[in-house]
Amino acid sequence: MSVAPITLVCLSLATLFVAALPVSLYRRLRVPFALDWRDTIAGVAVFAFFATVLERALNDYVLHGNAAAARVMANPAFFVLYGALAAGVCEEVGRYIALRLIERRGARKPTAPADGAALGYGIGHAGAEAWFVGVLVQLQWIVFAVLANRGDLDEHLSNLTLDSVLRVHLILASLSPLFAGVFAIERTAAFVFQIAFSVLMWRGVRAGWTGILPLAIVVHALIDVPAAMYQAGLAPLAAVDGFYAVAAVVVAIVLFRTCRRERRGVSVA
């Protein structure tokens, strides 16, 4: 089998776009919002540990390691509930801890926009997700597609089982320009949501509101419900991606207006 050249080009462009998104946004906001690179590194570290280590370990135990839990998760409703809450709890607890530490550090200039810490952290958290969940995965499929077009794929997959090799071929056969577009939309929407979660958490932390953590968990879980429904076979991909595209545009507009309003208020003061 082979992957059409137009599909490879579209997938490569979409991957490059997602890869450049956090870098370009950080460079764009670094001066006007006085971003601190330490906040961004904290965001990367939190996602790497709480999402890729803790959450994956929890999922492996609940979905595979514990027979009783796995039987419960076979019910689509319980799977959706668990999937949404697991991501919300793991990521928001990590975000809360990091932003509390950043707030206690208190080393920011008095004239700097207060949301700068949240934006810097959010770019790190969202950028780590974009790279770990999106860019690195798509790079693997691009490499597989190139190998398939050269006729060398099966040789490079010789250490895998027959079922795994067949799965790779099936996924490659499903790749298309539309898939590349969907990938770019999904990762961009997730990027916007992660920054919005960071601003929400930061404002709650700064206000000293104890209810911000449970609120953030609930909001994060609600955003993850459509994706979990798709994974459980309860919702079509087109509807889920359509919802995320519209929601991301709305959230981005609100985020832009609120952060710009605060920045103007600081600059006038």
Per-residue pLDDT of the chain (269 residues; tens, 9 = 90+): 688 999 999 999 999 999 999 999 999 999 999 899 999 999 999 999 999 999 999 999 998 888 898 899 999 999 999 999 999 999 999 999 999 999 988 755 555 667 899 999 999 999 999 999 999 999 999 999 999 888 888 888 888 888 888 888 899 999 999 999 999 999 999 999 999 999 999 999 999 998 999 999 999 999 999 999 998 899 999 999 999 999 999 999 999 988 877 666 554 33
Q: Let me know: does 157 contact 216? Beta carbons within 8 Å.
A: no
pTM given for the model: 0.91
Indicate the DSSP class of residue 132. I
Beta strands in the chain (DSSP E): none
- Residue 106 token pair: 């208190």
Angle at 261 between CA 93 and CA 116, to 5 degrees: 40
Q: Let me know: does 195 contact 91? Beta carbons within 8 Å.
A: no
Indicate the DSSP class of residue 50. I
The one-letter amino acid at 82: Y
> 80 vs 67, 73, 133, 220, 240, CA distance in Å?
18, 9, 20, 13, 14
Four-point Cα dihedral 215, 219, 221, 223, nearest 10: 180
- Residue 193 token pair: 């949501």
Q: Which of 105, 96, 101, 148 is nearest to 125 (CA)?
A: 96
The one-letter amino acid at 158: S
Task: Say what the pLDDT of residue 107 is.
Answer: 54
Task: Say what the pLDDT of residue 267 is.
Answer: 41
Q: Which of 189, 187, 192 is nearest to 25 (CA)?
A: 192
Task: Say what the pLDDT of residue 268 is.
Answer: 36
Task: Say what the pLDDT of residue 151 is.
Answer: 87
- Residue 138 token pair: 């798509």
Report the 10 Å Cβ neighbour count for 105. Answer: 12
Residue by residue, DSSP assigns 139-173 as: HHHHHHHHHHHHT-HHHHTTTS-HHHHHHHHHHHH
Task: Say what the pLDDT of residue 164 is.
Answer: 86
Q: Which of 126, 112, 104 is nearest to 26 (CA)?
A: 126
- Residue 92 token pair: 């928001």
